[in-house]
Structure 1
């Protein structure tokens, strides 16, 4: 079963609209026409009790798929424009689109195209002067951290050079968590930090550390330099003056986008299995499974009129009615 949208009576997109994209089994779809928004529908008791968390997950996955689909389509166009006389402008246009990733995907896609169903995409970064190597080089020292509005509520951690990497990460994470920052290890195993993308600008501009005179100046907080972790796709680094290299970058970006697309589709498949009564092993279930598949196909065809009609039709069906139908003997 391919899951599209379950309306819980609340808006799940910025306009309360149900939008989808056309799919093929072999590649991401070409650009599709804009889907007309569905008029907001107030659901009656029954569907309103549907798991809100699952609904948010489905909604976020759909928005992520829509963004990835459009990104792939734009990259296909960009490949053709690389032979034009204005390739630099074409790359910049895609870069501007890519910078909208967080908002366009409702915060579900981070810089590495990892899907976060809780809509809390993270920004990973490192801090100059703060690494496993520097923490082990020297004596025990107390470090105090302050961030923006928490500057009057500094949190401290005692650095012990004899600790393991895991213990250091745990200690730093405990100190920074109240500020919205998490300590972690990056893909290379090095000390790194992460923060919600929406909070990143404030962290970037206001993270300060006060040391005991060994690793950081003593007596006062000093703003530290943060370095953004390298992201999966960086259009700003594509060089129009080197078309061959730029095309390689574009091809790599398409592979990453399509992989992410497949991963998000997997999330929707798992969500489909979580629906109450969505998997039935008898003939009655086979009928309703077929109905659900047909409904999903309608949504994927982006048939706005059909979607509007269907939503208005099922809005008044209670959970009790559905349960009764499922329990009825096959005819």
Structure 2
């Protein structure tokens, strides 16, 4: 769900003839339109309209995208947490009562597994397989067989030709004695970045690669390397195996065929629930940071301007008649449930 910053609406002043109808912008209606409905005009505070416009303009696309992405991630994670809690309860009940299989457990596992496969779409592309949240797109982290630091440190100088995506898209990486682990990773990173692959050192000190999750299948199926016979064979480019990092939650491996497998699955479900709840806390933290950005982006004068608009609106709606109805319908135009929920979440 998004909070959209729409263009200023154009409305026709009531009572004007079609031939010479005067169009006024929505901000003006926010102050002057309400005044027209009251017997005593309400004078806006000095410069109240100008800061109001500036405040509304601060709802820029990056902020909207960050809010929407965090909310989509939370929706998916909270739904997943609820499914895991139900599955945990059913597994525990089966073990405690030693009931015969009736298909319920299998159905719940399938339900969660199907939901989990839809993670990328359901979260708006903000949650990766490790449940790391990012509004800038999710990545798949992977390793390449033979491209480990122990192998790359040993041996003489070698030029590696690496192809990703096939065709003429070939990049060269020079490996030579004396390079530090960081230097090796940097050379791979600089060479492969144009192909959409980045390289770095993992937390456990291994050489790892990453690419956009949407590009992973292409990278996995097309990566090939040619060496000079020291670390990789010479001749033609040879396909190498790329393996994605294990996902944080793997429901496809859960089994409920017997009591022992149920115990194992219960343990994995408990672990998965803990990881999902930790991710929920992380996304909540990210949403709080976005909220702070929104508050910092809105100038203080905007709040006084909005207070004036609110007062004018209240005064107008207290007066019976067409002008009161016009003010209410104009204020509600374009408002949806999604917008209201988005705004309330910032409180």
Whether TM-score is above 0.5 comes out as yes
Q: Are residues 44 and 154 of structure 1, via their aligned partners in 2, closer, same or farther at CA, if it must alter by over 3 Å?
A: farther
Q: Are residues 219 and 270 of structure 1, via their aligned partners in 2, closer, same or farther at CA, if it must alter by over 3 Å?
A: same
In 1, the alpha carbon distance for the partners of 2:333 and 2:79 equals 26
- Aligned match of 1:127: 144
The structure with the largest alpha-carbon Rg is 2
From 105, 111, 116, give the equivalent of 1:93. 111
| Greater fraction of residues in helix | 2
- Aligned match of 2:86: 77
Indicate the SS of the match to 1:312: coil
In 2, the alpha carbon distance for the partners of 1:310 and 1:58 equals 22
In 2, the alpha carbon distance for the partners of 1:211 and 1:64 equals 43
Aligned-residue CA RMSD (Å): 2.9
Deviation sequence 1:84-133 (CA, Å, 0-9, x none): 53334432331121111111111100111111111x10101101111001
Q: Are residues 60 and 44 of structure 1, via their aligned partners in 2, closer, same or farther at CA, if it must alter by over 3 Å?
A: farther
Q: Are residues 9 and 202 of structure 1, via their aligned partners in 2, closer, same or farther at CA, if it must alter by over 3 Å?
A: farther
In 2, the alpha carbon distance for the partners of 1:260 and 1:166 equals 30
In 2, the alpha carbon distance for the partners of 1:68 and 1:230 equals 19
Indicate the SS of the match to 1:139: coil
In 1, the alpha carbon distance for the partners of 2:232 and 2:292 equals 52
Indicate the SS of the match to 1:148: coil
Q: 1:7 offset after TM fit, Å?
A: 1.8
- Aligned match of 2:289: 270
Q: 1:311 offset after TM fit, Å?
A: 7.2
Gaps of 5+ in 2: 8-24, 28-52, 95-100, 311-330, 337-347
Q: Are residues 49 and 277 of structure 1, via their aligned partners in 2, closer, same or farther at CA, if it must alter by over 3 Å?
A: closer
In 2, the alpha carbon distance for the partners of 1:263 and 1:311 equals 35
In 1, the alpha carbon distance for the partners of 2:147 and 2:335 equals 59
The TM-score normalised by the length of structure 2 is: 0.67
In 2, the alpha carbon distance for the partners of 1:267 and 1:311 equals 31
Indicate the SS of the match to 1:126: strand
In 1, the alpha carbon distance for the partners of 2:264 and 2:201 equals 31
Would the aligned equivalents of 1:9 and 1:48 in 2 still touch at CA under 8 Å? no
Once the two structures are superposed, the pairs formed by residues 263-302 of structure 1 within 5 Å of their partners are: 263-276=282-295
Would the aligned equivalents of 1:65 and 1:264 in 2 still touch at CA under 8 Å? yes
